[in-house]
Amino acid sequence: MGEPNDEIWTLVAKQLTGELTAEEATKLADWQEKRSENQATVEQVQSLWQRSKERDSSYEPDVEEGWQRFMFRRDEEEGEPRPLTSVKPMHTPRTRTLVWLTGVAASLALLVTIGYLWRSASSEMGWEQFATADGETKLLTLPDSSQVWLNSLSSLRYAADFNVNNRVVYLEGEGFFEVKEAEGKRFTIFSGPAKTEVIGTSFNLRAYQGEPVKVQVVTGRVAFSPANEDNAVFLEPGEEALIASNTEPARTQTITDPNFRAWQNKVLHFDNTSLTQIAHQMEEQYGITIELAEPALANCRYTASFDNAALEDVLTTLSVIGNLSYQQQGNHYVLTGPGCE
């Protein structure tokens, strides 16, 4: 969960009251973009704010009392309790010109109070977190029976109350999701600058640090958008989209890599594929490096399929069909052969 300071809560409040300057908007956007949890925090506070307005549109918060309650709770947390008193603001003709400012102050005081309560609730909330080491993959079953395969050097976490009111997870790295449909509950994934929302579907989501976030849909329909916006693109099976930052829209296209989920299902398929591309795919799949000894080898193309095959089996098959040989030096392999024109 994001951990905003009082300055951030003030910026959120000013955003809700329409008083945010361009410079402040940039500062808030920068904070939201640092972590997907930050964006989730702002969105949930905005939702809380909207629900409170819908519940009673005539409600006018008591600014002084709200502020004193916040100060009392803060001092109590620091071991310095003070008595709670209620001070009612007086509205006289001399103060009518401050009505607008009082409204803004009420919003700010309320948001500061929400911020305090939010931090208190967050500190008490438990989290389930899973991670994989280099070269490791892991299958997870979530409380709603959805399944997630985590790729190497990836992590997934969700709140202990997952599936009570909503289904929200946070991904860093790469995961393949098979999401079970749950009536009235969307499944939301925050990953870097992107947000992915589904109901019941399967898809691959790649969100390693330093790379654009990419989603590739296998079944169902997926909504994909920058984490701080609602202008989602909707993807069908066989489509993919990328998001590089919170400020850029998603770029969509047809999936061109038949092996995008090979790390998860262990199936490799090459159809008139260059040896250079095959070598790159094998490097990702098996955690090795491959060197082509002769430049002409890059011109060779092969057609073959492998289902859960060991590295040695793939190398042996390529050697037979391509008149190649290979030498192993630890995790480094050198391919030699006559090459192709």
- The predicted model gives 303-316 an average pLDDT of 96
The pLDDT score that the predictor gives to residue 229 is 77
The pLDDT score that the predictor gives to residue 300 is 95
pTM of the model: 0.66
Q: Mean pLDDT: which of 102-116, 136-150, 225-239 is highest?
A: 136-150
pLDDT digits over 276-291, tens only?
Answer: 999 999 999 999 999 9
Closest CA to 205 of 285, 263, 281, 256: 263
Please determine, for residue 77, whether its predicted confidence score (pLDDT) is greater than 70.
no
The domains of the chain are located at: 6-124, 127-254, 266-336
- At the topology level, CATH places domain 266-336 in Phage tail protein beta-alpha-beta fold (3.55.50)
Helix axes 99-124, 63-77, angle to 10 degrees: 30
pLDDT digits over 98-141, tens only?
Answer: 444 455 555 555 555 555 555 544 544 588 999 999 989 999 99
Tracing tokens 């057609």 back to the chain, one arrives at 303
pLDDT digits over 246-269, tens only?
Answer: 778 899 999 999 999 999 999 999
The pLDDT score that the predictor gives to residue 126 is 80
- What value does the mean pLDDT of the chain take? 81
- Residue 10 half-sphere exposure, CB side, CA atoms within 13 Å? 7
**Distance from C-alpha of 264 to C-alpha of 249, rounded to nearest angstrom:** 28
- At the topology level, CATH places domain 127-254 in Jelly Rolls (2.60.120)
- The predicted model gives 82-106 an average pLDDT of 46
Residue 12: band (very low, low, confident or very high) from pLDDT cuts 50, 70, 90: confident
- The predicted model gives 152-168 an average pLDDT of 91
